[in-house]
Amino acid sequence: MNSDIDAVEAFIYEKEGQQQSLLRALHELLYGHYELTTKIRYKIPFYYRKSWICYLNPIKNEGIELAFLRGNELSNAQGILDSKGRKQVYGIDLHTASDIPMTLLREILQEAILLDETVPYPSKRKK
């Protein structure tokens, strides 16, 4: 195993109860099923291919937000992503592993991965 995946798994096992169950289920989906690369950034797990696709953000001991960094570019045809007033990042708050809307989440992930693979991320950095 590499140190990045070890760091993410250590992050997951530091959590307790529902948060740990949610993190394990989402990590298995993102890393295991979709084979996204993972790293700890800003003290939370981020998942990427060409650019950052999503991250898992614990919500004050009560759940996890699965947030998509290019959420504003996704169709949100499922109607479950919320911007929470942010311009670019959209996410979904989950409170138990049984809450995870797997079918809808897979649709969003497939769209986010397709976007990442086909539309270069517009860098805002000055050259």
The residue written with tokens 């990045």 in the block is 4
DSSP 125: S
Integer CA distances (angstroms), 105 to 2, 76, 110, 122, in order:
27, 10, 9, 24
Q: What was the pLDDT predicted at 126?
A: 54
The strands making up 37-41's β-sheet, listed across from edge to edge, are 37-41, 44-48, 52-59, 63-68, 90-94
Q: What was the pLDDT predicted at 5?
A: 77
Q: Residues in the chain with pLDDT < 50?
A: 1
Q: How many helices (DSSP H) and strands (DSSP E) are in the chain? A: 3, 5
Q: What was the pLDDT predicted at 119?
A: 87
